Structure 1
Amino acid sequence: MSDKLRPSLSTLGAKVKELSEQLEQLYKDAKAPVPTLAADSPASTFTGEIFVVKQKLADAMNDLNIISQGPNESVFNYCHNVIPDVAALNIINHFDFWSAVPLEGTATVGDVAKKTQLPEEVVQRVIEHVTTLRYFAYTNPSIPKTSKIQHTSRSAALAKSFGLRALVTSTIQDCGPPMLVMPEALEKYSLGQQSLTRDVDKTAFALAHSGGEVFGKYGTVWDYLEHDGNGEKKGWRQRNFNGWMQYIKEIFGTDAVLLEAVDWKTAGEATVVDVGGSGGHDAFGLAEAFPNLKVIVEDLAESKPVFETNIPKGLTSRVSFQQHNFFEPQPIQADFYLFKFIFHDWPDKESIAILQALRPALKPGAKVIFVDYVGKQGEFDASLPRSIHQFGTSTDLRMMALFNHEERPTDAWRDIFRRADERFEVASVKANPLTYIVVIEAVWRGE
């Protein structure tokens, strides 16, 4: 058995100390303050080197946690806590406990109960749990039932960021129930089969929503996002999803990825179609950086109000919104078609259909700029921290639950273009395993 599976407590403790000191030094070198547990903690600094050291430290701390508890206790403790942890976070996020406590002050249980319209008993019991996770803190922990409540760095971050709150809602509320019924879905649709069914009507999501009483009766996650809610609240999940996607882009700096994906300056007076461009955040940044571009954002009707609310006044002559379903034939002839984080949500069959829908509008030399996740790196790269692989495998299981498909390595993305049409020529591929992003430029060589 490998010695890597027999680390001592002291060895791991020393590794944690070494990596902690290395991380602190990297923050100093970057002239960035180190995060704390306090409400005024600075946001994390993202650079490639800092990110890798963080993940190595996470791996070492996780190993130390496991062997310090022992195998039995570590499993027991995880299973005992994981669902209550998620449920409590879901509650405080759904009922916006964040705004019920002043960022620079305190609140009583009664204050939070009044703001959230929940019984004081519920507020007290939920707060007691989330303080163990460092969401909020008591000013006097020895008397939690009468102590005032204050923010920590984690709860303050959520109070300040709609995108982070949207991430919590989407990953827990939208994706959580389907993931919990994956065993039933696999038993119902895939047991005894040679491969996972790719039928989008036979997903764990569809099974979780088949009853309709709690989550609504929806066949796909897109129907759910688009139609859940009544009156003014209809489509709120789609707006929330847009916020989540924008937050993810901010974390990984995908705005810069898009700006550097093509030599936009030399493209001339080009027309760019941002297919599935949501509320237009990326389109705005692209148009602001390159005045020679005209950008058309295509998405479903629910994204139009977000677009109209956020479009900068100086861009209204060059950036527009057009309602379009990307499975339907593309109506606009353009120089570039952007697909950002679209295909990873669909199995191969649907991904190929999305590309094929472009063909009626494609002119010779038109380019498809494809930006998406490299959720899996192909063969396991032992040089990368396990937590980096975990990010990809978590997303991969989420894709299985929602869409009956998988996160793809770079070569699989190349193959999608080939299978869609041999006239797509893949001109360049740029992949970065530290940001999980691949950029592909494909040129249409048809007549």
Structure 2
Amino acid sequence: MASSNLKPTLSELGARVKELSETLERLLRESEVEAPTLAADSPLNIAKFTPEIFTTKQALQDALNDLSIVSQGPSESVFNYAHNAVPDMACLNILNRFNFWSAIPLDGSASMASIAEHVKLPEEAVQRVIEHAATIRFFTYADPAHPSTSPIQHTSRSAALARLPGLRALVSGCIENVGPSMLVMPEALEKFALGKKELPTDMSKTAFKLAHSGGQVFGDYTDSWQLLENDGEGEKKGWRQRTFIEWMAYIKDIFGTVDLLLGATDWEKEGKAHVVDIGGSGGHDAFALASAHPNLTITVEDLHECGPIFSTQVPSTLSTRVTFREHNFFDPQTVSADIYLLKLILHDWPDAESIKILQQLRPALKSGAKILFIDYMGKQGEIDPNLPRSITQFGTSTDLRMMALFNARERSLEAWKGIVGKADQRFEIVRVEANPLTYMVVMEVVWRGQ
């Protein structure tokens, strides 16, 4: 848990690490969960999270980070972080972009020459990238005593990326799509916020726009959604959107959002309801919901590039009940339905745009229509100030991304309620569920207009 002790000794931190490690091992044994290792055949993750397992794991992360800082000393820890952070990120991005993961058998090894042939890069570049990758546990040498001639093998980290397309998509999204904007945040703040009392909310004054203003490398795009939809040429056009859809499908596994969706309301009680999944991507949530509740009819709405992906993924058994409709949620809604699903949509937009998205539903709303709002709650510390720092860090990292991309911010529970109230007083929040350990909030909103 969070601690105000800023003068721990190395032995005290070591003891804390030992205590938490033993506690986590015990909790995993009691839950019959196999613990991850560094080897390629490691379990991909901790298969079951109880609240105690989760908080213990994160508290251990805090203790390990503190031990690392104190063992180095403050100035050296800063030097090492500044020296390594961007090269680490660039190395991972190269490995991912050129799919080094598939160049090496999961249960075997590969030579530098064969890896270079597979990824179509010069062998010198491959060797230098893998030399760095091995220092951060992406790949290892089969013969560590002779690294210059040794074949290369997977570690648990690289094997996970070889096995999980969604994890590869997550790496691409966090680094490739967001990285340029994050790196020019100082310039954006200097240009648009220096000397002012408040941050801008205009999306034409973002770090993203600064990074994507006519440059040959990153292109000229207004916002990240335009980048996702249009980047690339020929068959590669829209590749970022396709990768993003894969990322979103993976997110449902990380956060258990399918279970969250299935428990968001009493779907059986809703009967033969028509549900509109706004910004529903390739339909992964809609498929799970329709499979669990045969009485539901679902319309998935999203941008053009999502349509072909939906068509290739919709199960034949669901094709009559789950359909795709091209729709921009900034345009007036024309589909009258019983329930509108807004899951992980508004957190990507500033307040004004979030309010407009809600307001654009009004033309189609009938009295009593529901909006099921499921979104990320990035300010967990406002609910429980004693959470491990690493939990809070997850939210603050996302908050900085939102500032770079959209001049938006991660919101607390009260801020989410405020967005709904500002959109229209006829939106009534009838139920709220929020848990800082899941990072998610569920609100049931009913339209009281005529």
Matched residue, 2:425: 422
- Shift in Å at residue 212 of structure 1? 2.2
Normalised by the size of structure 2, how large is the TM-score?
A: 0.98
Matched residue, 2:109: 106
Q: Matches of 1:382 and 1:76 in 2, distance apart?
A: 30
Q: Matches of 1:380 and 1:8 in 2, distance apart?
A: 30
Gaps of 5+ in 1: none
- Shift in Å at residue 30 of structure 1? 1.3
Q: Matches of 1:29 and 1:282 in 2, distance apart?
A: 32
Q: Matches of 2:198 and 2:144 in 1, distance apart?
A: 52
Deviations 1:36-61 (A, max 9, x none): 00000012224122211110000000
Moved more, 152-161 or 381-390: 381-390
Confirm whether residue 358 of structure 1 aligns to residue 361 of structure 2.
yes
Give the 3-state SS of the residue equivalent to 2:5 in structure 1.
helix
Q: Matches of 1:3 and 1:82 in 2, distance apart?
A: 27
Confirm whether residue 403 of structure 1 aligns to residue 425 of structure 2.
no
Moved more, 187-196 or 211-220: 211-220
Q: Matches of 1:4 and 1:121 in 2, distance apart?
A: 47
Q: Matches of 2:116 and 2:252 in 1, distance apart?
A: 34
**Amino acid of the structure 1 residue aligned with 2:315:** P
**Amino acid of the structure 2 residue aligned with 1:68:** S
Confirm whether residue 122 of structure 1 aligns to residue 125 of structure 2.
yes
Matched residue, 1:6: 7
- Shift in Å at residue 378 of structure 1? 5.9
Give the 3-state SS of the residue equivalent to 1:240 in structure 2.
helix
Contact 2:206 2:406 in 1 (8 A): yes
Give the 3-state SS of the residue equivalent to 1:298 in structure 2.
strand
Q: Matches of 1:422 and 1:16 in 2, distance apart?
A: 51
- Shift in Å at residue 413 of structure 1? 0.7
**Matching of residues 161-310 of structure 1 within 5 Å:** 161-310=164-313
Matched residue, 1:446: 449
Q: Matches of 2:44 and 2:22 in 1, distance apart?
A: 19
Q: Matches of 2:214 and 2:90 in 1, distance apart?
A: 21
- Shift in Å at residue 268 of structure 1? 1.2
Q: Matches of 1:429 and 1:3 in 2, distance apart?
A: 32
Give the 3-state SS of the residue equivalent to 1:339 in structure 2.
strand
Matched residue, 2:26: 25
**Amino acid of the structure 1 residue aligned with 2:208:** F
Matched residue, 1:94: 97
Q: Matches of 2:127 and 2:367 in 1, distance apart?
A: 64
- Shift in Å at residue 26 of structure 1? 1.2
Confirm whether residue 147 of structure 1 aligns to residue 153 of structure 2.
no
Deviations 1:249-283 (A, max 9, x none): 11110000000001000111100000000000000
Matched residue, 2:440: 437
- Shift in Å at residue 228 of structure 1? 0.1
Contact 1:378 1:409 in 2 (8 A): no
**Matching of residues 372-387 of structure 1 within 5 Å:** 372-377=375-380, 379=382, 381-387=384-390
The structure 2 residue matched to 1:388, chosen from 378, 388, 391, is 391
Deviations 1:374-394 (A, max 9, x none): 011363733200000000000
Moved more, 301-310 or 340-349: 301-310
Deviations 1:275-311 (A, max 9, x none): 0000000000000000110000000010011111111
Q: Matches of 1:52 and 1:379 in 2, distance apart?
A: 17
Q: Matches of 1:86 and 1:227 in 2, distance apart?
A: 25
Q: Matches of 1:379 and 1:332 in 2, distance apart?
A: 37
Give the 3-state SS of the residue equivalent to 2:331 in structure 1.
coil
Confirm whether residue 339 of structure 1 aligns to residue 354 of structure 2.
no
Contact 1:427 1:441 in 2 (8 A): yes
Q: Matches of 2:357 and 2:381 in 1, distance apart?
A: 24
Gaps of 5+ in 2: none
Q: Matches of 2:167 and 2:102 in 1, distance apart?
A: 14
Q: Matches of 1:146 and 1:380 in 2, distance apart?
A: 54
Q: Matches of 2:123 and 2:272 in 1, distance apart?
A: 61
Q: Matches of 1:271 and 1:49 in 2, distance apart?
A: 38
Matched residue, 1:64: 67
Compared CA separation, residues 334 and 380, structure 1 to 2 (3 A): closer
- Shift in Å at residue 327 of structure 1? 0.6
Give the 3-state SS of the residue equivalent to 1:193 in structure 2.
coil
Normalised by the size of structure 1, how large is the TM-score?
A: 0.98
**Amino acid of the structure 1 residue aligned with 2:419:** I
Compared CA separation, residues 292 and 184, structure 1 to 2 (3 A): same
Contact 2:395 2:410 in 1 (8 A): yes
**Amino acid of the structure 2 residue aligned with 1:90:** N
Give the 3-state SS of the residue equivalent to 1:4 in structure 2.
coil
- Shift in Å at residue 419 of structure 1? 0.5
Contact 2:402 2:410 in 1 (8 A): yes
